[in-house]
Structure 1
Amino acid sequence: MLFQDVISRWPMILNGVGLTIVLSFVAIGLGLVLATLMSALRSLAGSWAGYVVDAYVELMRNTPFLVQLFMIFFGLPQLGIRMNGIEASLLAMTLNLAAYATEIIRAGVDSIHKSQIEAGLALALSRRQVFQYVILQPAFARVWPALSSQFVLMMLASSICSFVSVQELSGTAAIIEADTFRSFETYIVVTGVYLVLALSLKLALNWLGRKIFPQVSGLARLSDAHGEAA
């Protein structure tokens, strides 16, 4: 096994890592915003909005990510909407992540005790204020570990974007393999890089959750205790 043939191409590997990180972070940011908006729409708008959100979530969660990516990259041009590989990948990753994140946030929203919502309304808060301060923040605190896991999975799923000629880490690995004919060595190195990326992202998200939600997490635990006592 001649790993030097692979490692000597470290600039290509770093470029692939950089694109993987950019794709993942942009998709995570946009997907989380979209998921939050859909959760608000489901809670604040009428039942028709909930049906639309549910239909979208079921569509994205019950079809393969590769098919969604191909539909955007190869299908939309038939409608006159053309995107390059990176644009199509970002859109597919964002839409896919938003669907899963919406369901995760829904679980957090459903966990909020009814008495907290009634207390917020009794204090003359608007429905929007109740959703933002009484429901959404504690819900995020409770489901942050699940959201973090989904973010890591989305980062790993970015490897599928190599099928539309995006030279992220997996796409770069395919090029190195073709150049060196060192399949095993190439993918051993890439596996190690993905492992480092996934663990680093997980640690960063755990740290971020502790920084953002310390007080809200305490409120969530108190709410759980109140619900059990009731």
Structure 2
Amino acid sequence: MNYSFSFAFLANRWPALVEGVWLTIQLTVVSITLGFLVGTLCAVLRVYGNGFVRRVVGSYVEIIRNTPLLVQMFIVYFGIASMGVKLSAEVSAIIALVINAGAYTTEIMRAGIESISKTQLEAAECLGLSRVNTIIHVVLLPAMERVYPALSSQFVLLMLASSVTSQISAEELTAVANVMQSDTYRSFEVYLIVAAIYISLSFLYRFAFALVGAVLFTRRRKLGTAL
């Protein structure tokens, strides 16, 4: 084996990698935020909604969780375009990622909501809290606290899965790497660098989620419970 490593191409091409990383961060931060909101709303509807609403939300969750993200992305990108509405690759990527994240968040938050004991709900009712205030203050925040580690892991996985958006020409990190390796013929070096960047991003996201958890969940911070 006489392969000789060379990273000389980075001297001219590192700005493209930085742009790819920045777009990856933008795509995933927006998708995580919107996906969490969609998932939380769907979880509340699945637990407290009527039979029809629960079935609709359940169907959405099962369809998304049982189809590949790449297929979902193609449906959004090419399907919407075939109906005469042209969206950019980045917007299509965000829509697909939000839909995907929303389905997984629904199930995670549903588990958290259903873990809240009935005595807490009865206590809220005795205090005269409205149904909306009970859901927000008595149910959602404690539920999110209980499932926060699972949510954090799921959102890190979403960041890693965002690499498939390169298949619809979104110029994120993996797409930049694909172009770079085809130009330089240094596939091994390029993807080693990209792997290292994704590992760094994973640690960065986990650190950010830990900070958010420390701010939101003071009880966990005081007890030293993992976030």
TM range (shorter): over 0.9
Name the structure 1 match of 2:100.
Answer: 96
C-alpha offsets along residues 100-140 of structure 1, whole Å, 9 cap, x if unaligned? 01100001011111111111112222221111111111001
Which residue of 69, 91, 94 corresponds with 1:87?
91
Name the structure 2 match of 1:57.
Answer: 61
1:74, CA displacement in angstroms?
1.1
Which residue of 97, 111, 117 corresponds with 2:115?
111
Structure 1 residue runs of 4 or more that deviate by more than 6 Å after TM superposition? 216-219
**TM-score computed with the length of structure 1 as normaliser:** 0.91
CA distance in 2, matches of 1:40, 1:217: 27
2:135 equivalent to 1:145: no
* 216 and 134 in structure 1: CA distance in 2 versus 1, 3 angstrom threshold: farther
Q: How many residue pairs end up in the alignment?
A: 220
CA distance in 2, matches of 1:169, 1:96: 20
* 138 and 31 in structure 1: CA distance in 2 versus 1, 3 angstrom threshold: same
Name the structure 2 match of 1:225.
Answer: none
Name the structure 1 match of 2:192.
Answer: 188
Name the structure 2 match of 1:224.
Answer: none
After superposition, the CA RMSD in angstroms is: 1.7
Identity %: 42
Query: Any gaps of 5 or more consecutive residues in structure 2?
Result: none
Name the structure 2 match of 1:130.
Answer: 134
1:7, CA displacement in angstroms?
5.0
1:8, CA displacement in angstroms?
3.5
Name the structure 1 match of 2:18.
Answer: 14
* 24 and 30 in structure 1: CA distance in 2 versus 1, 3 angstrom threshold: same
1:50, CA displacement in angstroms?
1.0
